[in-house]
Amino acid sequence: MFIDEAKIRVKAGDGGNGCMAFRREKYVPRGGPSGGDGGKGGDVWMESSERHNTLVHFRFNPEYKAQRGRHGEGAKKTGRDGVDIVLKVPVGTIVYDEDTGEKVHDFAHADDRIVIARGGRGGRGNAQFATSTHQAPREHEDGRPGEERNFLLELKLLADVGIVGYPNVGKSTLISRISAARPKIADYPFTTLEPNLGVVAVGDAKEEISFVVADIPGLIEGAHTGSGLGTQFLRHIERTRLLVHLVDVSDASGRPDVVKDVEVILGELSNFGAELEKKPMLMVASKIDVANPEKLKKLKSWCTRKKLKFYPISAVTGEGIEKLKFAMAEQVERVRTRLSAEHAEIGQGT
């Protein structure tokens, strides 16, 4: 089961109440007030973890509450602080405040950790209110309530390469060919109902380049408005560094115009509104072992006019697969180098 969205409610611990007490010991004359302070309520933390890859554990347990602080006691004993709780989320999770819609945090890296609800402060005991003119105070405070918040969690896959295209163009077959991933493969539309991830390694042991490829479920016209599987998976392409657009050039798809197919998918990427159309893209003609020569020629000519790199492949026979893998690795490394340089400049500027 792939769960990429969840709603949770969290409650930080309330602070413990302050105590009202007076010392009454045989050898302590004028003992005075001795009420201790209440303990602080526990915080609710959220931490990104590479051991989690879905939000399914929040689907069945959406409410979380930290421990309250212990009340203060006599002899100026401060109550014990409440125990914090830590909620683990997959890397790539974005946290939104459900009530305001504000983005709280983007967990883009492993072991990132923030407080999402703070525990209440403990109340003061009556010993805190003693003064030279008010030596027997009976005032004491209740603990402050802990924060109570509602969050929307949204998971976006962290993949270097996103494979996009119409349903049944061969995306799952390609990812099974270039990586160890074994997605479900069948000859009906929308076989892939959740993204599949695979790790691809290119080169020898000394200069190996590895990157993560995501097989995004098939897109159709109107996907950006929710048609087909819609925006449910379009958002996973946002974090990718490279798009590989697969186009079926055989007659099995039943769609006669390959260029129209390409333009429809490009339109959906553009209309989604996250500048997906500006990402580097490789055009791939799939199923060339059973290709319609006219479709292949038309797509190649279109790519030449648009100055897009074009790779004909057959995931069944293996033709063109290695060339495509090296092209993907080259593009991913180029983007990684550029991003590293940008981060270095930002670091020097600060």
- When pLDDT is averaged across residues 135-157 and rounded to a whole number, the result is 91
From 6-10, 141-145, 279-283, the region with the lowest mean pLDDT: 279-283
Domains and CATH numbers, the chain: 5-155 (2.70.210.12), 161-349 (3.40.50.300)
- Closest Cα partner for 262 from 228, 286, 240? 286
What pLDDT score was predicted for residue 320?
92
Across 28-32, 127-131, 227-231, 295-299, least confident range: 227-231
Query: Which tokens go with 317?
Result: 């026979």
For residues 309 and 330, what is the distance between their CA atoms, to the nearest angstrom? 13
Share of the chain above pLDDT 90, in %: 43
132 or 82: which carries more pLDDT confidence? 82
pLDDT band at 128 (very low <50, low <70, confident <90, very high): very high
Contacts with 268 (C-beta within 8 Å, 6 or more apart), sequence order: 219, 221, 222, 223, 224, 234
Give the mean pLDDT of the chain.
Answer: 83
Q: What's the confidence (pLDDT) of residue 167? A: 81
For residues 253-268, give the mean pLDDT: 85
Q: What is the pLDDT of residue 240?
A: 82
Q: Does 209 have pLDDT greater than 60?
A: yes
Reported confidence tier of residue 1, pLDDT bands at 50, 70, 90: very low
Confidence of residue 57 (pLDDT cuts 50, 70, 90): confident
| Mean pLDDT, range 181-190, rounded to an integer | 47
